[in-house]
Every structure is written in C-alpha cells, then in structure tokens.
Structure 1
Amino acid sequence: MISELEYKSRRDALAKKLKSYSVGVMFSATHKTRSNDTEYPYRQNSNFYYLTGFKEANSCLMIVKKKSKVKTVLFVEKKDETKELWTGKRLGEVEAKKRFLVDEVYIVDEFEKKFKKYLEKKQTLYFDFKLDYSKVKTLKRYSKNLYTHKNIALLLQEMRLIKSDSEIKLIKKAITITKDAHHKAIKFKKTDKKEYELQALIEHTFKTNGAYSDAYTSIVACGNSANTLHYVDNDKKLVDGELILIDAGCEYKYYASDITRTIPVNGKFSEAQIELYNMVLDVQVQIIKMIKPHAKRSELQKKSEELLCDGMIKLGILKGKRKKLLKKNAHKKYYPHGIGHWMGLDVHDEAPYKDKKEKEIPFMSGMVLTIEPAIYCDKDDKTIPKKYRGIGIRIEDDILVTKNGFENLSFEIAKSVEEVEKLYSSL
C-alpha cells in the first residue's frame, strides 16, 4: 500500500515545480457512458490518483502557490443518502478532512467560487490540457487575465518516470498474479476450445487473486491471428498444432503488469516453431542484458532490429546483406513496433522519452519498462519459407532498472521451450 505521507510528498514535489504565484488544478476522471443509462467500469484518472490515492469521481485537487507558501485544497462530493443508495457510499467532506493530508477540504459544489478566489493576484494556471472541453471552458473563463496556461500533466509525467519502493511492490504483486494466470493458461487443455475460454480462465485468475481488472484488453490470438498486433476478437478455435500468442496482464491497486507469452495449443512446439521462437527469445535475452543506468531505449531498439534482422536472414525470411536490409527497413515488415515502453500506473505509462530539449532520457534506477521483441509471419506471405507462414511470436517481460543494472520482475513466468513444455505436461 502507498501511505498518505507518500501521496503528500508527491504533492509537495509537484508544488516545487510550479512557478510562484500560480494555481495548479487536477480533476478526477469522469464516468464514461457505455449505452443509454449504463456506464463502463469506473477507473480514476492516473495522475489524480498518483497525487491523492482517491478513487471517487467528481473530485478535484488544487495547489495554490504564492511566492513560496503553498496551500493544497481537495474538493469532494457531498454526502447524499439518496444518490448513495444508487451509486455507493461517498467519503464526504468530514471524513476527507480526517484522511487526507491537505490544508483544506470543500464539497465540489464550491469549486468555482474557491477557484475564482484563489486565482486573485496569480500569474499562471496549470491544468491537464487533455481535459474535456466543458472543464477547460470553466477554467479559462476565470483565468483569462493570467499571463500563461501550462500543462500540469507534463510535470506529472516526469515525476512518474521513477517508481518508489511502494510502487515497485505493487507492480511485483501484479506480476505475481499475472504469472499464475499465464501458468494456468499453459497447463489448460486447449485443443478445440475457443480463444475466449482461455481469456476467461486468465481473467478469472486475475480477479480471484485480488486484481479486479485487467491492465488492458487481453489478446489471445491463435495461429495467424497473432499477426494482428492488437487482435482482441478472441473468438477463434484453438487449433491443434498451432501457437497462441497471449498478451495479458492484470492491474493490482492501480498498478499494471504487461506480459506476453507464445505457447503451443497442444503443449509441444514443432521444429519450425522452435526455430522462430528461440530466435526471438535469444534477442530478448540479449536486449534485457543491455539495460542499466545511462543506457538508452533507442540503443535497445537499434540492437533489437539488428539481431532480429540477423535471425531472419539465417532462417531465410529475409535475403541479402544486413546493412542494406536495415537501410531499406525490410525487417520492419516482420517487426514493426518498438522494443518496449514505460509501465506503471498505466500499462503504457504516460511518461516522457525525451526531455524539454528533445534529448532522449537515459535509463535511471527506479524506471520500469517492458521488453518485447517479436516476429510476425503472415500466412499469405509467399516470400518466406512455407513452414513459418501463419506464425506470430512475441515475448514480453517487465524490467526494473536498478543501480547496477536490471531486475527482470517477471523472470518466474515460464518462457523457454523446455519450461513451457514441462509445465504443460506436469498435469
């Protein structure tokens, strides 16, 4: 768990980044309508949660800064027995004052009046530029005489790059639950079942272990479906002899995991599948070993493309010299995406890859990222050996940058051909 003191320290750190004589505003997420009067499951805005740990909608955090003095103000929904009967209990103003380490708490109905007051003699307003238009219109109506408007989300993205010990613990817990789900998927007797049955098993495992939601829509792609990178139909039959690409990770107390494994339906890799699989796995192992403070993601990307290109040449998928093939981006037909991304409160954590001067940000201890090399060989691609057509393979792990190198947070999830086959046969 993350303590109220840690949330306060984040607010204090953000306040130091604000200019003197400014006001910073961060709103909660809004409910999203699914159809008519039904809604999608509510999830708090990640930046708002990062600063407060508060899950309720229709809330707002305000940071008011004079020359050096700072005041933090939280706005929450008022208690209302009738509305709470339908939508659940609210914390309310009184309990919020007891719980949160902020200077003032008001009901959200008072927001505009207080906002107008706090803007007096201020010069800069910080808010999230991705806000819906109605909120932006309200903010700008009262702040039209200020000198500047700045995007507070950019400051928070910088802060979220480095994970605290408590954040890393939550990510590790999410990965532990995800490990259990992937291992059950490997052991599951899959032949002639449907992709969505395997998805149901995975997501049932998430929920029964305390992870009430997935971190993203699970991909369970059998055979050629794996060559659609964001395949989410999950409605095809699991065919004996084919591979299944499973990209699935849970979210535990708002922190994500992101794991991909590619496994055989019948528990046994074919010779051609092993050739492709081990090529991708070898690349992943080499790329992970490159992770350490001061290394850069672009270096990992470049090396992964070189290694995968070498592997494709060796297997006859590409023909020619590596240098020319890379220059023509011939390899990108089979590996079109990046080597990985930041991960944390969001599966694709909203954190920057470049600094304000547009220079790439090097790795630092406490960063968490995914590493996911892949190869996608479409069944209709007549330019590649027939035995590889219709196979898509991606292998993805979650990596913590440490002071002296890296820690593979998901190392316990079966990955090698031998580990996967042994796990399947262990029933």
Structure 2
Amino acid sequence: MKYDPIENSLFIKNRKHFTAKMKPNSLAVFNSNDIYPISADSTMPFEQHRDIFYLSGIDQEESILVLFPDCPKEKHREILFLKETNEHIAIWEGEKLTKERALEVSGIATVYWLKDMEKIMFEIMTQCDTVYINTNEHYRASVETETREDRFTKWLKQRYPAHAVAKSAPILQRLRSVKDPIEIDLMQKACNITEKGFRRILKFVKPEVWEFEIEAEFMHEFLRNRSKGFAYTPIVASGNNANVLHYIENNKQCKSGDLILLDVGAEYANYSSDMTRTIPVSGRFSDRQKAVYNSVNRVKIEATKMLVPGTDWAEYHVEVGKLMTSELLDLGLIDKADVQNENPDWPAYKKYFMHGTSHNIGLDTHDYGILTEPMQANMVFTVEPGIYIPEEGFGIRLEDDVVIQEQGAPFNLMKNIPIEADEIEHIMNS
C-alpha cells in the first residue's frame, strides 16, 4: 500500500463498537471485494470493500472477517480468513499478508487460510443462532453486479437455512457516519494532498490547455504524495461543460474567458476528500463571473454555519434554498413573481441550483449516514452549493469538507485550499 501504516487501535475500537450492537449469540461476516475483470486477462485495480477495511484494516483481496463476540471458544470471537501466500504468488504478485502481519494490521490474533474456512464456519455456525449478513443499503446504491459478498451470503443461507438472519447495514450506517479522530486525521491528509494538486493547477492553467491535461496534473501530484489517485471520477469542466453536473469526459480545450469547474479529490488510505473549485482560464474573472462566484461562496459560508449537532438534513436543505433564492434574486436570475408562483416541490431556485448541498463523506465519497436522524459531532459533510447558467456559458460550484463540532462552527478540513476569488486571481497571476 502507498499509505503509511494505520494504528490498529482504530480497527480494534471499530469492532468493539460493532459487536456491542449485535444480538446475543450472533455472528457477523464481512468479505473483501472481487478483483473485477475487464476482458481477456485484464482486471480493474483492486479496491477493498470499505466495511471489512473499517473493521479490520485488511486491504487485500479474498479476505473474510468473522465476528462472534459470544463464541464459547475465545479464540473464535474474532477470525480472519486470508488467501494463503506461497513462493509462486510472491514472485508474480508480490507480498501478501502473513498471519503475523495480519495481526499487526488488524489486532486480530486468530488468522486462518481460506482453505480452512468451511470447516471453521461449520463449527461456529453450530454455536450461534443469528448470522449478520452485509447488504448494501446506501440510499444512492445502484448495483447490477453480483459481488463477492452477495455470493457468500447466498452460500451461507443455503448451507445454514435454519439460522435467523440480521443485517449489518443499520449498525454500520450509524457507526461509520461518526468519525474517530484517527479517521479525521486520515481525511485531513487526503484534503492536504488535494490542496497540493489544486495549487499546482493554479500555476498550470492557461488558455488553450486541455481538460485532460489538468486531470493529469492532479494525478501527478496525488501519486507523488502517497495517494492511489482520485477518490472518485474527476470532473474538469470548462465553459458550458460545467452545466452538466456529472461531466467526466474531460476532453475539451479551455478557452480564454471561460471558467473551469474542478470537482476533484484525492483519496488517502481509502478515505476520500471531495473538493470543488471554479477558476478562470485566463486568470481573471469577469465582473459577472465574480458576482455569481461570490454569491455561491456566500451561500457556502452561511450553509456551513448550520452544520451543528441536532441539525435535520432535510430542514437544512430548505434553509439553504432560502439563502440561494436571495442570491439569485440579487443576480437577476429569478424575480419575485418566480418565487411567489413557485412549485413547493421544485422551488424557483432549483432552475439554477438543482442538486443537494451536503452529503456524508468518509471511506466512501458518498459515505454512510442515516439522513433521517439528527447530525452529530464528528460527522463529516461536504458543503457544495452551485449556480449553473447555460445561457451565459458557465457554471460555478464551490465545495469543502467539514467536521461537525460538539460546540461552535464546523472545522473545515479544506481551510487552507484557496477559495476567495481575489486569492485565486492573485495566485494565478503571481
């Protein structure tokens, strides 16, 4: 792995918190992701399933974690099953985890090779009443591929049909949404790498540069700072491309006078950052561009102040809508009649700001979190208002990642990343 070792105390705490929520005499199983094929013998780069990583720190394919806190045999209360390494694998693929190294990473003493899994599972399944399966219940999930987790769950339910079944997802949704200080430090490192990439871009951008060249500059800076790369598919959208919310082609030339919307974030140790900045290709905003830019920034600043313990996510978005409505009126993009006659289900401001303002972020860019429950301290949210004006040929979005504090304003993990229009112009022209 490119990232520095993580204290295994994080994973020990995470398992303790999870098992405390389990039913009596129950067992939970978590699987690594598959390595997904492309064609012929080509595969996608491996990405670990975030849940097994959260609970163990194991960042390797073909791994299984079993938690059975009430197991009569103490050594089987936490078990890792790993792919057995050998000389051939070492030569062709490189180092895999040994049992000793797995203990160092995870804090789990009982490690078996995968070939022993069915035998050990039979023993412990006869000793439990309920098995927790790990289903993907994220509110934005749309999965067509059968995962390794799915296949294991199918096998488990067929082999042991008399066991009661429970779900890990509701427990993980709550646990993962509230970050440990170690996690916040890892996210800060991801944001710091993103900052380095952005500062590099401010010196690089000029008229006639291509969007993909900007993407390449970010990737260069991310890799040289121990990141695997982008936390999500990057958006480098110049001119009217910025008005396509999920524009990812990044294949156009940036023209003098245009703006570039950059929705880009580095990952670090599987943790995400999520930044959006909008910059002028020529190094200077026009008066109109700067007026819209400053409107978006004002909404972001005021919206951030609302992210405090007890805030309701849905009500928060209603209040942000009011802020945006006021700015759009001042910009002349909507008028009072538009507001008076608006559809409550699609307010007037939605014509120019049609997406949400905040989402949880952590191990996933759109991270776990139950949005019908009040916000809590140490949750991390994005704040990302935008104004999109196709008829004027530009769109502006600004986004930071902030940590909710027990008291006072949220802590901005991106406070050192330039955002004020004047500062961006100064750096681009210095």
- With normalisation by structure 2, the TM-score equals 0.91
Partner of 2:79: 73
5+ residue gaps, structure 2: 137-146
Cα distance between partner residues in 2 of 1:101 and 1:407: 31
Instruction: Note the C-alpha offset of 1:240.
Output: 0.3
CA deviation map 1:83-123 (0-9, x unaligned): 33222211133543565422421101111221121111422
**One-letter amino acid of the structure 2 residue matched with residue 96 of structure 1:** A
Matched, 1:64 2:68: yes
Alignment match of 2:334 (pick from 318, 323, 327): 318
Partner of 2:306: 290
* 1:352-363 pair list within 5 angstroms: 352-353=370-371, 360-363=372-375
Partner of 2:390: 378
Report the CA distance shift for 1:337/1:294 in structure 2 as closer, same or farther (over 3 A). same
Cα distance between partner residues in 1 of 2:276 and 2:386: 10
Alignment match of 1:47 (pick from 46, 51, 68): 51
**Secondary structure in 2 aligned to 1:325?**
coil
Cα distance between partner residues in 2 of 1:80 and 1:209: 31
Report the CA distance shift for 1:3/1:314 in structure 2 as closer, same or farther (over 3 A). same
Partner of 2:191: 175
Instruction: Note the C-alpha offset of 1:187.
Output: 2.0
Cα distance between partner residues in 1 of 2:309 and 2:103: 41
Instruction: Note the C-alpha offset of 1:230.
Output: 0.7
Partner of 2:379: 367
Instruction: Note the C-alpha offset of 1:323.
Output: 4.5
Conserved 8 A contact 2:10-2:182: no
Partner of 2:351: 333
* 1:297-316 pair list within 5 angstroms: 297-316=313-332
Matched, 1:122 2:128: yes
Report the CA distance shift for 1:152/1:241 in structure 2 as closer, same or farther (over 3 A). same
Cα distance between partner residues in 2 of 1:98 and 1:12: 17
Cα distance between partner residues in 2 of 1:139 and 1:219: 41
Alignment match of 2:29 (pick from 4, 10, 25): 25
Aligned residues: 410
Partner of 2:233: 217
Instruction: Note the C-alpha offset of 1:317.
Output: 1.6
CA deviation map 1:347-401 (0-9, x unaligned): 1112221xxxxxx22222111100000011123xxxxxxxxx2111100001111
Matched, 1:399 2:415: no
Cα distance between partner residues in 1 of 2:27 and 2:159: 12
CA deviation map 1:191-232 (0-9, x unaligned): 101000011111111111121221111110000000111110
Cα distance between partner residues in 1 of 2:411 and 2:343: 30
**Secondary structure in 1 aligned to 2:342?**
helix
Cα distance between partner residues in 1 of 2:255 and 2:200: 18
Conserved 8 A contact 1:125-1:143: no
Report the CA distance shift for 1:127/1:165 in structure 2 as closer, same or farther (over 3 A). same
Alignment match of 1:138 (pick from 155, 169, 175): 155
5+ residue gaps, structure 1: 354-359, 380-388
* 1:154-193 pair list within 5 angstroms: 154-193=170-209
Report the CA distance shift for 1:326/1:182 in structure 2 as closer, same or farther (over 3 A). farther
Partner of 1:386: none
Instruction: Note the C-alpha offset of 1:156.
Output: 1.5
Cα distance between partner residues in 2 of 1:219 and 1:100: 35
The percent of aligned pairs where both chains have the same amino acid is 33
CA deviation map 1:267-320 (0-9, x unaligned): 000011112111111111111122222223223311211121222222222233
Conserved 8 A contact 2:208-2:255: yes
**One-letter amino acid of the structure 1 residue matched with residue 155 of structure 2:** T
**One-letter amino acid of the structure 1 residue matched with residue 277 of structure 2:** R
Cα distance between partner residues in 2 of 1:292 and 1:134: 40
Matched, 1:229 2:232: no
